[in-house]
Amino acid sequence: MAIDGEIHRLTAEEYHRMIESGGLNEDTRIELIEGLLLDMSPKTPAHERAIRWLVRELSRSLDLDRFELGVGAPLSIGDSEPEPDLIVLERGTPQPYHPATAALVVEIAFSSQRRDLRAKPPIYARAGVPVYWVIDLEGGRAVAHSEPDADGFGRVEIVDELVAAHIGLAPISVADILAAAG
């Protein structure tokens, strides 16, 4: 059992030096969360089907002159570098290493619900991410987070439709995503 004194938290700069020195490579499935290197969950076929379906839907709806769509793209947020499944970036977003925020962050959760619903929301809220969706495949639901502030998201709700009007998206049916995931 580790106690806090036995844990070394990495800064984002230390993490980046590890990557750039070859200590970590692109096949290493970890992410930096609050200074800790955490294993990422393996991707299931349902996870990948949901991502492909959402990529197609978002690509059809987004103004690609204003926004970019990232798949498995990291964000640089203080001493965290989460790698959400999907991000929508406004072109010109500051990039201290990777983009520092996003207009929309999406996580497809199968076995990562605890991290996606507890650890990541305060990180994304501090970065000013206006909308964060967690599609919980195992639970058959979606949790929408909005109204970010320094303490987290002011609004967190289980929804039947995912909404991100601030980027021009039409509502997306959660049932359609779950059906696509199979």
| Residue 34 located in a structural domain | no
Structure tokens belonging to residue 3: 């106690």
The reported pLDDT for the residue numbered 42 is: 83
Is residue 151 situated within a structural domain? yes
**pLDDT tens for the 182 residues of the chain, in order:** 555 567 889 999 988 898 888 888 777 888 999 999 998 888 899 999 999 999 999 999 999 999 999 999 999 999 999 999 999 999 999 898 999 999 999 999 988 888 999 999 999 999 999 999 999 999 999 999 999 999 899 999 999 999 999 999 999 999 999 999 99
Which residue range(s) make up the domain with 63?
A: 41-181
pLDDT at residue 55, as a whole number? 97
Residues 117 and 112: their CA atoms lie apart, in Å, by 8
- Asked if the structure places residue 17 within a domain, the reply is no
Q: How many structural domains does the chain have? A: 1
CATH number of the CATH domain containing 84: 3.90.1570.10
Domain membership flag for residue 63: yes
